[in-house]
Copies of this chain bind each other. A is one copy, B any other.
Amino acid sequence: MVSRKEVAKLAGVSEATVSRVLNAAGPIKEETRRRVQDAANQLGYVPSALARNFARSKSGHLGVVMPYVPKAHLFSAYFFSEMLSGIGSKARDSGLDLLLLFRKPGEKMDYSGLFRQQKIDACIILGARDDHDELEALKRLQEEGRPFCVMNHHFAGQSFCEVDADHVEGSRTAVSHLIEQGCKRIAFLNGPDIYSNSTERLKGYRTALQDAGIEYDRELLLEGNYSRRSGLEASATIAGRLNDIDAVFAANDRMAIGVMQGLRELGLGVDQFPAFIGYDDSDVAEMAVPPLSSVRVPFYEMGVLATSKLIPDPLERISALELTGCASIRELLSTELIIRASSIRQ
């Protein structure tokens, strides 16, 4: 293996200069830089990433904290794979590798320790939720000035760097569309309120009703847990109240499809279905029977944006490694209502 010493000899400079050039550390004359680079190329010198990162105190890794997803709960595959794709695409362009960090059930995450141990230079948190330990861990990161970004969750009263979609507006638009189709008794199958996603959807639902002068009725709220199974379970309740319910707005596509499946198993034909709108516009929405109207969330773009916020100058590969603290601003991307057969009432 070619050593730094040989590169230095060929270029006629010191070993320290070779390091400075290859690590882009400190000012260097252009002429020297080129000489070293040419010598390194000529000899096929590959600097050890470990040695380089050790010298720089940088790992070159963007940590991505994944939620704990037990095997049975892979319902989340779509939105995680989309967010991860966006994060991965941006990180790759910036010369950073993705280090996946899995939450363990019942274990406190020591985010701060990951930085202290220099395992990661920056961090994106997926699948966060309102939880005391989680909040404390993130507050500590912020106090220490670590670059991190929370995706798809909002911690009220904090000023974390967050990237999310506008779920209030997304839900308002969906419910308004149902009202335009003549629906008045709109059941809302929401997720648990430990997720800001759920509370924001409820807000949008209520706003749409209010705008149309329709009274909010708690009896129309149902709670699931974002799984298809929980939709299937809710279907019995909905089937028993079909003379009172003319539409179902579900907080994600999986639950909407679970309800449809349940109604079908109870012997109902598509022509007896209430109007349906799901949320996420995941790949299954289009496959549903009838095809499911849904609120499209730009998960991929959210992943790109979150990564961009942690990398100030993505055009320059070297400076991309100099990660900075993320400006503490919550960024909300727009959603889009995709209308398919399930919500059209003639």
Contact = CB atoms under 8 A, between A and B. Distances in A.
Assembly of this chain: how many copies? 2
Contacts of A80: 81
Contacts of A49: 59, 117-119
Contacts of A81: 74, 77, 80-81
Interface residues of A, number: 48
A101 interface: yes
A283 B75 contact: yes
A98 B88 CA distance: 13
Given A54-B50, A57-B50, A289-B289, A97 B74 contact: no
B77 A228 contact: no
Nearest to A288: B287
A47 interface: yes
A257 B287 contact: yes
Main secondary structure of the interface of A (DSSP, over half): helix
Contact of A85 (B71, B117, B118, B300): B71
Contact of A119 (B71, B97, B228, B289): B97
Interface string A22-56: 00000000000000000000000011111101100
